């Protein structure tokens, strides 16, 4: 059985407070985009194995969120059979696009179907939340306002159909510690739900709180955003904690020249 985990972008991202457990409270709108990994699972009579192709995945295979998702279900359903798992990685990692979280969320859904567990989305989201803050989003995989650590989800009507998306990742690694170190948590100055409903306000009011410090430390990322606006984007922003930057256009812009080492993705959204 095969599925295609997709990336996400953030429309606005506010760090609203720091929690006693060390995590931060956030508020953001997450929207799926058509940039995909490929995940295949096949029953195996002998043992569970994991392999990957495509972009290199750092770290030990045993630490991959997909295997952690399998172990999580295996704990509650001991009779689950063994699996051959193959992931083809195309979504850049550590890029603010939720690629690892998507793989974990889609793995839970895929195993739910493959093993006929008949778990509804609520239970899958509960499992996903133990794997990572963004993981529950990818169970329903529709535009959502995310609060809490990112696991408290509220549906929102966001229609980007007809927009042309350009996504750039310059390959700059921004660690979680660096990203949060430059942010002073504060209550949002705007109502995000109302703001999302009025696209004319996005450019001036829909902000990602990570941008100020990240742009100061990495001017190259700020330059990418400025270039997207110069090309006619109606909205451009860094996604998550970076370093990916996306632009949304009413129509496909004229060809822009980018550093050949950048990851580049564009698509007409439907």
CB distance 166 to 257 below 8 Å: no
Other C-beta atoms closer than 10 Å to the C-beta of 17 total: 12
What domain range includes position 53? Answer: 2-155
pTM, two decimal places: 0.95
Domain count for the chain, please give it: 2
Phi-psi region of 67 (alpha: psi -120 to 50; beta: other; left: phi over 0): alpha
In this structure, are 205 and 108 located in the same domain?
A: no
Q: Which residues are catalytic?
A: 8, 134
Q: Is residue 33 within 8 Å of 267, Cβ to Cβ?
A: yes
How many residues appear in the chain? 270
- Whether residues 20 and 139 fall in one domain: yes
Same domain, 102 and 70: yes
Q: Give yes or no: residues 211 and 138 share one domain.
A: no
- End residue of a domain, out of 155, 176, 210: 155
Note whether 65 and 131 are within 8 A (CB).
yes
Same domain, 99 and 219: no
Same domain, 27 and 66: yes
Q: What is the pLDDT of residues 157-195, one digit of tens each?
A: 999 999 999 999 999 988 878 888 889 999 988 999 999
Together in a domain, 9 and 142: yes
Domain match, 10 and 112 both: yes
For residues 36 and 86, state if they share a domain: yes
Last residue of a domain, one of 121, 155, 189: 155
Instruction: Please tell me whether residues 259 and 126 are part of one structural domain.
Output: no
d(CA 209, CA 220): 17
Collect all residues with Cβ–Cβ distance below 8 Å to 260 and sequence separation of at least 6: none
Tens digit of pLDDT at every position of the chain (270 positions) = 999 999 999 999 999 998 888 788 999 999 999 999 999 999 999 999 999 999 999 888 888 999 999 999 999 999 999 999 999 999 999 899 999 999 999 999 999 999 999 999 999 999 999 999 999 999 999 999 999 988 899 999 999 999 999 999 999 988 878 888 889 999 988 999 999 999 999 999 999 999 999 999 999 999 999 999 999 999 999 999 989 999 999 999 998 999 999 999 999 999
Co-location of 187 and 219 in the same domain: yes
The CATH number given to whatever domain includes residue 114 is: 3.30.230.10
Q: Are 144 and 29 in contact (CB under 8 A)?
A: yes
Q: What is the DSSP string of the chain?
A: -EE--EEEEEEEEEEEEE-TTS-EEEEEEEEEEEEE-EEEEEEESS--EEEEEESPPPS-GGG-HHHHHHHHHHHH-TTPPEEEEEEEE-SPTTSSS-HHHHHHHHHHHHHHHHTT----HHHHHHHHHHH-TTTTHHHH-S-EEEEETTTEEEE-----TTPEEEEEE------HHHHHHT------SS-HHHHHT-GGGHHHH--BTTHHHHHHH-HHHHHHHHHHHHTT-SEEEE-TTSS-EEEEESSPPPP----TTSEEEEEE--
CATH number, domain of 180, equals 3.30.70.890
Residues 123 and 228 in one domain: no
What does the DSSP assignment read for 107-120? HHHHHHHHTT----
**Final residue of a structural domain among 103, 123, 155:** 155
């Amino acid at each position: 059985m095969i599925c295609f985990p997709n990336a996400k972008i953030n429309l606005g991202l506010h760090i609203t407070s720091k929690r006693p457990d060390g995590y931060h409270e956030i508020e953001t709108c997450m929207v799926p985009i058509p940039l995909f990994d490929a995940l295949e699972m096949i029953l195996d009579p002998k043992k569970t194995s994991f392999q990957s192709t495509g972009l290199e995945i750092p770290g030990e295979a045993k630490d991959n969120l997909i295997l952690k998702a399998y172990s999580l279900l295996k704990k509650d359903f001991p009779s689950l059979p063994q699996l051959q798992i193959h992931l083809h990685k195309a979504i850049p990692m550590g890029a603010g696009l939720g690629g690892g979280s998507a793989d974990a969320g889609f793995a839970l859904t895929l195993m739910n179907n493959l093993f006929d567990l008949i778990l509804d989305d609520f239970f899958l989201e509960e499992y996903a939340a133990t794997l990572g803050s963004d993981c529950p989003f990818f169970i329903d995989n529709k535009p959502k306002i995310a609060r809490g650590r990112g696991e408290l989800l509220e549906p929102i009507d966001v229609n980007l159909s007809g927009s042309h998306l350009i996504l750039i990742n310059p390959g700059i690694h921004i660690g979680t510690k660096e990203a949060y170190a430059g942010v002073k948590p504060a209550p949002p100055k705007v109502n995000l739900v109302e703001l999302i409903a009025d696209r004319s306000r996005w450019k001036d009011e829909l902000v990602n709180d990570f941008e100020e410090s990240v742009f100061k430390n990495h001017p190259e990322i700020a330059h990418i955003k400025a270039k997207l606006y110069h090309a006619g984007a109606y909205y451009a922003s860094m996604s998550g904690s970076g370093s990916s930057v996306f632009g949304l256009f009413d129509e496909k812009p004229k060809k822009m020249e980018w550093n050949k080492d950048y990851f580049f993705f564009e698509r007409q959204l439907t």
